[in-house]
Structure 1
Amino acid sequence: MSQNDFSAELLKRAEHVEEILKKYLPKEEGYAKTVIEAMNYSLLAGGKRLRPVMMLESYKLFAGDNADEAVVEPFMAAMEMIHTYSLVHDDLPAMDNDEYRRGRKTTHAVYGAGMATLAGDALLNFAFETAIDGAARGTKLASYDGDTDNRYFAALKILSKKAGIYGMVGGQCADIMAENATDVPKDKMSDILSYIDENKTAALIESSLMIGAILGGASKDSVSAMEKAGSCVGIAFQIQDDILDIVGDQAEIGKPVGSDEKNNKSTYVSLNGMEAASAKVKELSEMAEEILKEQGFEDSFLGNLFDSLIYRRK
């Protein structure tokens, strides 16, 4: 698939996710109207919708292209709500204090820090309302060979764990604690960075692929394989981000380069060097591709999506 064809297909899939999201937006009414407006403002701020796209692609790989999307749609919406809440909170004055995201004012810049905090909280809670309601109303699925035979329960468990203290939130915690930590030995910092990349960046990618696979009828072993693929992609994505912060084109990236060094932030590149970082990205990419091949999904759109994320220039 050419780059132009891939880009067109990805845009088409993102637009499809956008239409799905709109079906699950809460109505802006009642005494909670303002926080709901802030939620919807945040959720419709644009973006590539990569996580729900990955979830749907994983679902179709295991369930077939003609499978009922209604099974996975509530979880796709929930995943994007969770991702969005994390961005809303990241932008807050107490965190990164960003005024703009994707070319428009951040939620706290429009609604104030207090309401933005509530909007993030509400998005997280509403994500689980949406997923649970979808699981309760969903068509009956074949038994799962995991810890529970109910595929909806298994998907909900993964969604909650990967978003929480043993996933994204845990990674964000470690990231905050590692800021300006200049007296940490190299081997210890390397362990910390691995934890951050695995949890802050990779956890929701893993979750998206795993949930799609579970709801699509995959076995426990195949779900574990998709988790590993998600880990490879997420970590490679972050290392590539570290590389672009040094050698990237500011106009192409859309943000200043050199910010990691300026902020005295340890990265895979600063600890191991550019050559080792590039080699690690290649290694992780090949591992993700091999996993898809072993699952019988060689030359899939999902594989092309992995490559686009890992080797992106912006």
Structure 2
Amino acid sequence: MSNRTPPVTLQAFLRDAATRVETRIQETLEQPVPNAEKLFEAMRYAALGPGKRLRPALVYACAKAFHGGDFDPAKCDVTAAALECIHAYSLVHDDLPAMDDDDLRRGRPTCHIAFDEATAILAGDALQTQAFELLLADNTEPALKLQLLQELTAASGSRGMVAGQAIDLDSVNKTLTLEQLEPMHRLKTGALICASARMGALLGGADSVQLQTITHYAQAIGLAFQVQDDILDITADTEVLGKNQGADALLNKPTYVSLLGVNGAREKLQGLHKQALDALATLPGDTSLLQALADYIVQRSH
């Protein structure tokens, strides 16, 4: 069994990962195109505002787990920044009036409220393409770069996150079964989380068997993240949550809480947590950071 004592605290690790990725994104967006300053301001607002930076953290933690303690985190910076750009774009578009029509995100006005709807749409578009520009310009070995691009495109598009969002929108005011709800969330929330773990593992030199194992881990925590979101949407207040409490219920969206109740959703969450830890137990090396991230996902309060 791997050592469960992290070399650094999870909080310190998350702060360092956030600082690294925010610095990289800031550098990328610090020279706006003349007469398009508002667009770049909106992109920075969306990508550099308050956030967990969970997806970048998974990249660093997986690379470290598979490569070992001497791994240089700088090799992950571009990949982590690309993933955060995709995530930021998805949130900007998710909040739009035609989608979830939210006016609060992470305790601040959503992008279309802080700027305007057209600028928010363009900022999301630009952040999406910025992710691929970052990866293509990186000096990663070509074969590995292609693998990373394949992972990100598959997770982000019509067979990944976007498909999940489409299913989610089509499910409003409908009754879904658990068997229908889970595939939607594996795409909408889980696909990018899974890609983050797999891309980090690839950077760390994971072999095909190890990559499959980290996929099982990431699928479990990706779904756990959504289950905890559903629980918090009911149990946390707006100030702590950083977005409007009860938003899913107001939109009459199917959730794990609406189908299972709060206690049933918590049981589901604990089962997913166990699946994640069981997967890690089969891997060699130090997986303590990955274990701590799984703990964090199921215990978070916002």
Under a length normalisation based on structure 2, what TM-score does the superposition of the two structures give?
A: 0.89
Shift of 1:251: 4.9
Bigger drift between 167-176 and 234-243 goes to: 234-243
Q: What letter is aligned with 1:282?
A: Q
Q: Kindly report the root-mean-square deviation, in angstroms, between the aligned alpha carbons of the 2 structures.
A: 2.4
Partner of 1:253: 241
Give the direction of change, closer, same or farther, for the CA distance of 1:246–1:68 in structure 2 (3 Å limit).
closer
| Percent identity over paired residues | 39
Partner of 1:305: 293
Q: Quote the Cα distance in structure 2 between the aligned partners of 1:5 and 1:235.
A: 24
C-alpha contact 1:38 1:119 (8 A) present in aligned 2 = yes
C-alpha contact 1:209 1:230 (8 A) present in aligned 2 = yes
Q: Deviations over 1:6-61 (max 9, x none)?
A: 33442333223322322332511324333223212221212121111110111111
Q: What letter is aligned with 1:76?
A: A
| 2:261 maps to 1:273 | yes
C-alpha contact 1:56 1:72 (8 A) present in aligned 2 = yes
| 2:49 maps to 1:61 | no
Shift of 1:165: 1.0
| 2:75 maps to 1:71 | yes
Q: Pick the aligned partner of 2:282 from 282, 288, 294.
A: 294
Give the direction of change, closer, same or farther, for the CA distance of 1:69–1:312 in structure 2 (3 Å limit).
closer
Bigger drift between 158-167 and 67-76 goes to: 67-76
Partner of 2:200: 212
Q: Deviations over 1:220-246 (max 9, x none)?
A: 121121122111001112112222333
Q: What letter is aligned with 2:22?
A: E
Partner of 1:192: 180
Partner of 2:43: 39
Partner of 2:155: 162
C-alpha contact 1:51 1:208 (8 A) present in aligned 2 = yes
Q: Quote the Cα distance in structure 2 between the aligned partners of 1:61 and 1:191.
A: 33
| 2:53 maps to 1:49 | yes
Q: Pick the aligned partner of 1:108 from 109, 112, 125.
A: 112
Q: Quote the Cα distance in structure 2 between the aligned partners of 1:59 and 1:24.
A: 23
Partner SS, residue 266 of structure 1:
coil
Q: Deviations over 1:287-307 (max 9, x none)?
A: 111111211256512211111
C-alpha contact 2:107 2:243 (8 A) present in aligned 1 = no
Report the structure number with the largest CA radius of gyration.
1
Q: Pick the aligned partner of 2:231 from 221, 232, 243.
A: 243
Partner SS, residue 281 of structure 2:
helix
Q: Quote the Cα distance in structure 1 between the aligned partners of 2:242 and 2:91.
A: 17
Q: Quote the Cα distance in structure 2 between the aligned partners of 1:119 and 1:86.
A: 11
Q: What letter is aligned with 2:210?
A: S
Partner of 1:99: 103
| 2:164 maps to 1:176 | no
Partner of 1:147: none
C-alpha contact 1:171 1:196 (8 A) present in aligned 2 = yes
| 2:110 maps to 1:117 | no
Shift of 1:255: 4.5
What residue ranges of structure 2 are gaps of 5+ in the alignment? Answer: none
Q: Quote the Cα distance in structure 2 between the aligned partners of 1:164 and 1:74.
A: 20
Paired residues, number: 297
C-alpha contact 2:68 2:285 (8 A) present in aligned 1 = no
Bigger relative contact order, structure 1 or 2 (CA pairs below 8 A, ≥6 apart): 2
Q: Pick the aligned partner of 1:85 from 73, 82, 89.
A: 89
